[in-house]
Amino acid sequence: MTTRRTFVLACAMLLWTLGVAPTLAQVPGIGSLPASLDKGALLEQAKQLVAELTAMKQNPSLSPSDKGKVDSLLPQANSLNTELAKPQVEPSRLTQLAGQLGDLQKQVGSLKGMIK
């Protein structure tokens, strides 16, 4: 249950951030990212996503078609992880990466729902 709560909280924070970040970027004098769009936190979520996908790939109860989905999501998650691990990421790119992370988390969440 804790993983589900963490996932829901992360998605809620991501949705809030995506709604607020573009607005704040247009306000003169603010121009920087809100504290909730933290590169370190996004990187940790991306690492967790890669770990979850890797574990799912090993799950014997996963159907062949779902394994194919995992196989297609894993490179995307690894790429996202690599981008977030870079020393500097432009604020606009960070917002894009946060959106991609949210999309991947939704897809992984739906796959997890099929396993149970």
* Local confidence pLDDT in tens for the 116 residues of the chain: 566 666 666 666 666 666 655 544 444 444 444 445 799 999 999 999 999 999 999 999 888 999 999 999 999 999 999 999 999 999 999 999 999 999 999 999 998 887 76
Q: Is 24 helix (H, G, I), strand (E, B) or coil?
A: helix
Do residues 53 and 74 lie in contact, with contact meaning Cβ atoms separated by under 8 Å? yes
Residue 4: the pLDDT is 64
Residue 5: the pLDDT is 63
- CA atoms in the 13 A half-sphere facing the CB of 83: 21
Residue 27: the pLDDT is 42
Model confidence, pTM: 0.67
How many CB atoms are closer than 10 A to CB 60?
A: 4
Domain ranges of the chain: 2-115
Compute the distance between CA of residue 68 and CA of residue 102 in angstroms, rounded to an integer.
20
Residue 84: the pLDDT is 96
